[in-house]
Chains A and B, each alone.
Chain A
Amino acid sequence: MDSQTPIVIVGAGQAGVQIAESLRQEGFAGTLTLCGEEPHPPYQRPPLSKKWLIEAGALSALTLRGPAALERLKIAMKLDTRVQNIDRKRCELEFANGTRLAYGRLALATGSLPRTLPVPGASLPGVLALRGIADSLAIGAAIRRCAAEGRRVVVVGGGFIGLEVAAGARKLGAEVTVLEGLPRLMSRVTAPVVSEAFARLHRAHGVQLIFGAQVIEIVGHEGTVAAVRTADGQEIRCGSVVVGIGVSPDDLLARSAGLLCDHGIVVDDCSRTSDALIVAAGDCTARRMGDGELVRLESVQNAVEQGKSAAAALMGRERPFINTPWFWSDQFDVKLQMVGLSRGYDQVVTRGDLAKPAFSAFYFRAGRLLAVDSLNRVSDHMQSKRILDHGLSPTPAQVADPQFDLPSLLKSPRETTAGEA
């Protein structure tokens, strides 16, 4: 493409910033505009549910790219502005304030939105969800207020965000109840052995866990939240409710513009959408895999890798996202690191000390390694990441043998591959 054609990026989060930076690295010299809805310069979101929530730190502790960085990259920032419509015929964006901006090529990195509870009382003051800086500050303040007044914080959802917030609330001294609709924690992404380790961890730190809990109403009193009612008749009195029941891709802009969407903007492994002038990256996308299946990943790595692919695609190059997906979470003193996608596993083998906890769960399908979850087992995680990146696999028996040296697989790849066949 013409290296001077103006490029506009909608969304100033991890994916949007990565697209901008990678475009410059790829030699794009034209006008580059990055539009963000929030007033803040680009920042990192993961700490919002972890360390930053507890410490209510300075905004500078979240900086993704500072003003000097953006100036150096010659990125024009349009913050605090909402794009309302994409006019694909005229190749223009319409902003909420009525102004328009022409694009030669467009990148969408609009992220995701927290799912809301479809129950009465869900919009009461004191019912909170986490997306941005303002939400993290509000949740932190609500937790501190509950701790001071001796009132309980109810977290709806026993996934990553809910559990991280629950851990933070305990650290800040509040009583916490986690309501999970399914029979175990993080059940969509981990094996029971991992869920159980986290349930023990949270209970040991005083978190009350209630499983199979279906929230039917949030009860208000004098205009603010007072209790949560569940389908089995429980009423849990509380001073605040944090809803962490997953996110939905923010693909509204793309859908309205007629781009192919299916619970996310559909992209190929090079981040291309159904419009040759438009790419998309990060939480807002659904990526078509080699087997035709659509996969949504909500992670920083996904935003970074899809962002790099999107920038390459804008420059007319193919740079498929092929790295093994990885995720992490911090809860109390446990560092959870996950690599690979465990969906479809038929066997789990653990390695390490389950009680401590300091162990890894290795997920296999038909004897081949799919994914590894590591709890305070950093070297297992790093080694498994490399093993999966190289397309290698230990056998379940090797993993089960504490004497087996995982990195040895990387030293003799040919023998290992032969051994698996």
Chain B
Amino acid sequence: MPRIVYIEPDGREVAAELASGQSLMRGALEAGVEGIEAQCGGACACATCHCYVSPEWLDKLKPPSDDERLMLSNVAAERRPNSRLSCQLIAEAGLDGLTVQLPDRQS
């Protein structure tokens, strides 16, 4: 049950225990984390679950797929080198403590 820390747009931290295999997007919706819309429900089709991954975690994640990279190229908030789509980030044991920040807008 990796513990994921979400930092909401206004700076509040919400920690949630995710099941292994669950996406960070779904975990955020279950916990009621503010700042995620996830309009397409995890199909990598809308880019409204954009997050910024804490830099120290960046190289521990699987790199983005071509689709994710292309979707990230036009997110509503600023795109940064640590931008990812949270529907494509899957919780697993090695990611306990992973911290992501939510942008101020998704659409």
Contact = CB atoms under 8 A, between A and B. Distances in A.
A378 B37 contact: no
Q: How large is the interface on B (under 10, 10 to 19, 20 to 34, 35 or more residues)?
A: 20 to 34
B74 A66 contact: no
B32 A73 contact: yes
Given A304-B37, A383-B74, A63 B47 contact: no
Contacts of A301: 39, 46, 107
Interface stretch (B51-59, B65-73, B92-100): B65-73
Nearest to A384: B74
A interface secondary structure, majority: helix
B49 to A, nearest CB: 12
Contacts, number: 78
B77 to A, nearest CB: 13
Contact of A63 (B29, B70, B107): B29
Nearest to A378: B70
A406 to B, nearest CB: 11
Interface residues of A, number: 35
B73 A379 contact: yes
For the residues of B in contact with A, the DSSP-based class is loop
Contacts of B37: 304
A65 B70 contact: no
Interface in B33-65: 33-34, 37-47
A121 B70 CA distance: 47
A113 to B, nearest CB: 21
B43 A51 contact: yes
B71 A300 contact: no
Contacts of A61: 26
Given A323-B107, A383-B74, A65 B41 contact: no
Considering residues B30, B33, B41, B70, which has the most beta carbons from chain A within 10 angstroms of its beta carbon? Answer: B41
A63 B34 CA distance: 15
Interface of B: 16, 19, 22, 26, 29-34, 37-47, 67, 70-71, 73-74, 107
Given A69-B29, A301-B107, A386-B74, 10 more contacts: A46-B40, A51-B43, A61-B26, A65-B30, A68-B32, A69-B30, A304-B39, A330-B43, A379-B70, A382-B70
29 contacts: A44-B38, A46-B41, A46-B43, A60-B19, A60-B26, A60-B30, A61-B26, A62-B41, A65-B29, A65-B30, A66-B32, A69-B29, A69-B31, A71-B32, A300-B40, A301-B107, A328-B40, A330-B43, A335-B43, A335-B44, A335-B45, A378-B67, A378-B70, A378-B71, A379-B74, A382-B47, A382-B74, A383-B74, A385-B74
Interface of A: 25, 44, 46-47, 50-51, 60-66, 68-73, 300-301, 304-305, 323, 326, 328, 330, 335, 337, 378-379, 382-383, 385-386
